[in-house]
Amino acid sequence: MRPFALALTLLLPFQSCDVTGAGQEQVRQRVEAGLHPYFPKARVEIDRDQQKLLAYTCATNLGEAAVRQVPTILDKNPDFDKLKQVHGALKLRMFELGFDHFVLTLDLETNKYDLLPSETVPNYTARFAQACGRELI
């Protein structure tokens, strides 16, 4: 997928996601619904113990350069900014956007992004495969 197309796919899902006053489950449902037009098999989960919102795009073969552009796109989106503002009330500390070979993390308390190779995240490959309904090699 070309970087510009990736930018559009990640920017548009949050346009109708008003998270103000919404509970964790409502946020999960809205984020998942927002991702589906662009990542039809996307799955979003909440890990309440670790206070994480995990979005598995189920997208494969995206390069590191394309994934590195995602924070710039997310930071320009006012609805994603709302999630950052209300994360405390929702008891969410971390947002993770997962691809087959990379996991983009956002610490919602410090507003710092990190891009991790998927093999460095414990059990990530298995969780991605389970969420996306496939085996990864």
pLDDT tens-digit profile of 26-40? 888 877 876 777 678
What pLDDT, on a 0 to 100 scale, did the predictor assign at position 38? 66
**15-28 per-position pLDDT tens digit:** 445 444 457 788 88
Every domain of the chain and the residues it spans: 3-132
Contact assessment for residue 66 and residue 102, using Cβ atoms and an 8 Å cutoff: no
- Which tokens hold the place of 6? 């990736």
What pLDDT, on a 0 to 100 scale, did the predictor assign at position 41? 87
DSSP string, 59-85: --S--HHHHHTHHHHHHT-HHHHHHHH
Highest mean pLDDT of the ranges 70-74, 75-79, 91-95: 91-95
Q: Among 111, 106, 1, 8, which residue's Cα sits nearest to residue 55?
A: 106
CA distance 84 to 75: 10
